[in-house]
Chain A
Amino acid sequence: MIKFTLNGRIVETDAPPTARLLDLIRDEFELIGTKEGCGEGECGACSVFVNNLLQNSCLIPIGAIAGADIQTIEGIMETEQFKLLDESYSNAGGVQCGYCIPGMIMASAALLSNNPHPTEAEIRDGISGNLCRCTGYNMIVDAINLAAKKGDGLWQKK
């Protein structure tokens, strides 16, 4: 039995310890915001926070995260930071097919929490593990810029 915190709630599972966190989140806990795009850590669609760090849930065997604090997009949906990103992505036109977007939002939040005023190069690096095939990234970069500008104070390191 493996125990960890998922979106603020302590959960348990008897899935095998090598099971992918991604499958657990989607199948057992029925949270669909974490998507599978490649299964090899190359697209970022499955990005989650593990102890506040951005990670690819497709590469995490659940045995490794016993006791950890896991957050998915569902876990941050009610935060002010998410609302600001939501609005910025809308205003900048950062969303097309949408499949990469929850992961992209997680990467954006991770970046801004560490670096509230990133340069363009830092933004590009921050989302470099999140593949988007629709937008060519520029409007996503704009969205993150917008969220940085409007989010003064919101992204200060805790």
Chain B
Amino acid sequence: MAEKITAYRFDCLEQTLSQLNKEDCAIIAGGTDVMVLHKSRRGVPPKILKSVVFIDHLSELKQVNQNQKDLHIGACCTYSELLEHALIPVALKNAIKSIAAPAIRNRGTLGGNICNASPAGDTLPLLYVYNAKLRLRSVNGERIVAINDFIQGPRRVQRDPNEIVTEIILPSVLEEDAHVVFEKVGNRNADAIAKVGFAGYIRINDARIEDVRFAFGAVGPTMVRSLNIEKKLVGKTLPLADSDIAEIVADFDKIIRPIDDQRSTAVYRKIVALNLLRYFLSLKQYQTK
């Protein structure tokens, strides 16, 4: 017989936080990852050993709003809700469109994608180059943490058992002068898990690079990003010299260490990651602005 399972579904965030303060629970937002991760075989419920708390219905977690040039996205907004929201940047919408298929996008949430902390998480490269921050709340108050500090490894995040990620903050994302590229490389055009993910961000003033950021997905335990490498390009003028491009590619070549698995090979992942970087650095279309 099935073991007894306790589940909570409170009407508001406060009650949810208060329960989490009393008991370590498995948090289920959309459930599209949790249900697969703990999947049993056909015909029976998944094996989740803790009590469960459902949060995807909490209206406090479903708001999207603007604060000056910052964008605040409620952690339990589904992908479909974000696709229809006017404030969501086009690049993020493109990344979301590459996720699974409509039925999953109707259920999966942005907060869930982050907390699942998959090395192949579809939105993560982009959130990294947006310098996304996460607001975590508990009965004791709240704190804000950068996404790259929050995600520590595959399925490992820096969240205390009594905390919930309530929103994702994209600082200054509503300034319009940045050019953002997102590429997901999967084995097919829908319902695919990324073999390589790439996000590139560049802000130019009069042909001079003011800000540039890169993040790579599915080529390491977490997203690969390097502020040191990025810094080298700041102040350079476009088009970049071949030697500059080669140097940046060589730098990433040293820090990208992918693995072989059932989806792809380490060799492929590395070459493609560097190809996409090189291509981004050589692109002409935003250099004439």
Contact = CB atoms under 8 A, between A and B. Distances in A.
Direct contact of A and B (CB under 8 A): yes
B104 interface: yes
Contact of B101 (A17, A60, A128): A128
B102 A125 contact: yes
A64 B106 contact: no
A16 B42 contact: no
A53 B52 contact: no
Interface string B1-19: 0101101010000000000
A18 B102 contact: no
Contacts of A18: 5, 7, 45-46, 48, 52
Interface stretch (B27-35, B202-210, B232-240, B266-274): B27-35
Interface string B92-118: 000001001111101100000000000
A40 interface: yes
Given A16-B2, A54-B103, A129-B102, A23 B80 contact: no
B56 interface: yes
Interface string A26-66: 01000000001001111010010010011110111101101
A91 B43 CA distance: 35
Contact of A64 (B28, B43, B97, B189): B28
Contacts of B100: 41, 129
A56 B103 contact: yes
Contacts of B103: 41, 44, 47, 54-56, 107, 129
A17 B107 contact: no
Given A47-B103, A60-B107, A129 B190 contact: yes
B191 A129 contact: yes
B36 interface: yes
B227 interface: no
B39 interface: yes
Contacts of B102: 54, 107, 110-111, 125-126, 128-129
A20 B52 contact: no
B106 A20 contact: no
Per DSSP, are chain A's interface residues mostly helix, strand or loop, or mixed?
A: mixed
A134 interface: no
Contacts of A64: 9, 28, 31, 54, 56-57
B42 A128 contact: no
A11 interface: no
A18 B31 CA distance: 10
A89 B243 CA distance: 58
A96 B31 CA distance: 32
B10 to A, nearest CB: 11
A40 B103 CA distance: 12
A60 B39 contact: no
B44 interface: yes
Contact of A129 (B5, B97, B104): B104
B9 A53 contact: no
Contacts of A126: 102
A41 B52 contact: no
A23 B46 CA distance: 11
A77 interface: no
B18 to A, nearest CB: 19
Query: What are the 5 A-B residue pairs with the smallest beta carbon separation, nearest first?
Result: A129-B101, A128-B190, A17-B7, A63-B7, A53-B106
24 contacts: A18-B5, A18-B45, A19-B2, A20-B35, A20-B46, A23-B44, A27-B43, A41-B100, A41-B104, A44-B101, A44-B103, A53-B106, A54-B103, A55-B103, A59-B35, A61-B28, A61-B31, A66-B9, A125-B101, A128-B191, A129-B100, A129-B102, A129-B104, A131-B191
Given A17-B7, A63-B7, A125-B102, 19 more contacts: A16-B2, A40-B36, A41-B32, A55-B106, A55-B107, A58-B35, A59-B36, A61-B28, A61-B35, A61-B45, A61-B54, A63-B9, A64-B31, A64-B54, A66-B9, A128-B190, A129-B100, A129-B191, A131-B191
